[in-house]
Amino acid sequence: MGRANLFGMGKGALATLAAERGQPTFRARQIYGWLYRRRVRGIDSMANLPKPFRAALAEEFDLHWPDVGERTLSFDGTRKYLFRLEDGATIEAVYIPEDDRRTICISTQAGCPLKCAFCLTGIAGYKRNLKAGEILGQVATVMDEHEAAATHPHRREADPFPWNVVVMGMGEPLLNSDATLEALRILMDDEGFGVPPRKLTLSTVGILPALEKLAREPVRPNLAISLHAPDPGLRRALMPIEEKYPMGAVVDAALRYPIPRGGLVTFEYVLLGGVNDSVPHARALARRLGGKRVKVNLIPLNPAPEIPFKAPAPEAVDAFGAALAAAGLAVSVRRPRGRDILAACGQLHLKKGADAPAPARP
Ligand code: SAH
């Protein structure tokens, strides 16, 4: 039987672990710091723990990050990581260098059960929820590989290129809210990864009970809501989840969500050529969101042979954005990154094979 992984355990679990072994409570904090702030790769590197305690820990636990199966580099510097998990499930994460920052896009499920009509992850099927350690391990691996090169001792503090983390990879984070929330707490914790909440964004279709739970967390990330249509009828055709969590209620919940530092909630809108990208669609969207303190992020579809939609014409993207801006909405258009390696938004999926999630049944 495999030993349990320390990596992924939060403060509460580590406190219990220390108490059960007759250790003072500060030991839990020490282990936590080694795991998530120093990010050591073995229990034996936890230098300030007494040797006998380290040995006892190592008998019951191990410490490992998910294995990197493959790295693929794009012409634009984007890097895609394929992780192979203990049960053979595979997931992907993406590293995206930008002019003034670097972003890590992480997955929360192996596959996705939502089956949005334009998303390859959904088309490929669903396998399982990730554990907190599997979510955090993606961040740890990417950060580690891009910080190892730096030799400056204070680089982490003085880094001119801060890290951003976006929970926009494979899966629906709020269908795996326990593990996702635990991972987010450790990511945003100063004694953990120390990613400031305003540099972390969670994207969701709006699983309402879990969204309310996230809103009640003492420390919360930014929120992006996948809307993709101006009205429930069209949204239902693109996103089956509309049946369960209708967009009216999702928009209301998102508007109540306390964004870090008084920032704006983002609504994501994938533009599908000839389907939801006309100026009347934009006007209908503006009527729904107009006057609210929100941002709209337009995402031109990243097409693929398996996706039964086409990218919008560039003029349609411009006209759509202009119509929203004319209605007073803050609009941005997402530039695709890593397109050549299928790492662009919505392209994370795995080729069919033994390790890929089972294909969805019709
Ligand atoms: N399940 C979450 C997070 C993962 S998807 C969510 O739906 O928000 C992250 C974003 O990529 C979502 O807005 C999703 O709709 C979008 N997306 C999916 N497939 C895409 C594609 N082929 N091209 C562009 N964006 C896509």
DSSP secondary structure code for residue 37 in this structure = I
Given a contact cutoff of 8 angstroms between Cβ atoms, the answer to whether 158 and 111 are in contact is no
Cα–Cα distance, 246 to 76 (Å, whole number): 38
Q: Give the amino acid at 189.
A: D
**Inter-residue contact 66 to 104 (CB < 8 Å):** no
Query: Residue 50 C-alpha to ligand 1 middle, in angstroms?
Result: 47
Mutate to test the pocket of ligand 1, among 345, 347, 349 (most ligand atoms within 8 A of CB): 345
User: 159 falls in which pLDDT band (50, 70, 90)?
Assistant: low
Confidence of residue 335 (pLDDT cuts 50, 70, 90): confident
DSSP state of 175: G
| Ligand 1 atom closest to residue 172's alpha carbon, by position in its atom list | 1
* Range 71-83 average pLDDT: 93
Question: In sequence order, which residues have a C-beta less than 8 Å from that of residue 348 and are 6 or more positions away?
Answer: 80, 92, 94, 107, 120, 121, 169, 170, 342
Nearest to 136 by CA among 208, 205, 185: 185
User: Can you tell me whether residue 36 is helix, strand or coil?
Assistant: helix
State the average pLDDT over residues 252-263: 92
Centre of ligand 1 to C-alpha 85, Å, is 23
Structure token pair of residue 4: 């349990």
- Phi, psi (5° rounding) for residue 330? -80, 125
Average pLDDT over residues 103-130: 94
Q: How far is CA 184 from CA 146, 201, 241, 263, 275, in A?
A: 21, 10, 24, 18, 35
State mean pLDDT over 16-43.
97
Name the least confident of 9-13, 69-73, 274-278. 69-73
Q: Report how far ligand 1's centroid is from the alpha carbon of 150 (Å).
A: 33
Q: Average of pLDDT values for 8-19?
A: 97
Kindly report, residue by residue over 175-222, the tens digit of the pLDDT.
Answer: 999 999 999 999 999 999 999 999 999 999 999 999 999 999 999 999
How far is CA 142 from each of CA 106, 148, 199, 329, rounded to the nearest angstrom?
10, 10, 16, 35
Using a 10 angstrom Cβ sphere, with 0-12 exposed, 13-18 middle and 19 or more buried, the burial of residue 354 is: exposed
- For residue 228, the Cα-to-chain-centroid distance in whole angstroms is 18
Least-confidence region, from 55-59, 175-179, 258-262: 258-262
Largest Cα span, the chain = 70
Give the ligand 1 atom nearest the CA of 225. 8
Pocket around ligand 1 at a 6 A CB cut-off: 116, 118-119, 168, 172, 203-205, 226, 268, 270, 299, 301-302, 307, 345-347
CA quadruple 109, 128, 344, 310: dihedral positive or negative? negative
Q: How far is 172 from 114, CA to CA, in rounded Å? A: 8
Q: At what angle do helices 177-188 and 208-215 cross, to 10 degrees?
A: 20
- Closest Cα to atom 8 of ligand 1: 204
Mean per-residue pLDDT over the chain, rounded: 91
Distances (CA, A) of 133 to 3, 98, 186, 255, 353: 14, 27, 10, 31, 25
Q: Which of 242, 240, 266 is nearest to 254 (CA)?
A: 266
Please list, residue by residue across 54-81, b when 16 or more beta carbons sit within 10 angstroms of its beta carbon and e when fewer do. Answer: beebbeebebbbbebeeebebebebbbb
Catalytic machinery residues: 92, 345
Distance between CA atoms of residues 185 and 140, nearest Å = 14
The pLDDT of residue 359 is: 44
| Banded pLDDT at 343 (limits 50, 70, 90) | confident
**pLDDT for the residue numbered 336:** 79
Is this model's pTM higher than 0.85 or not? Answer: yes
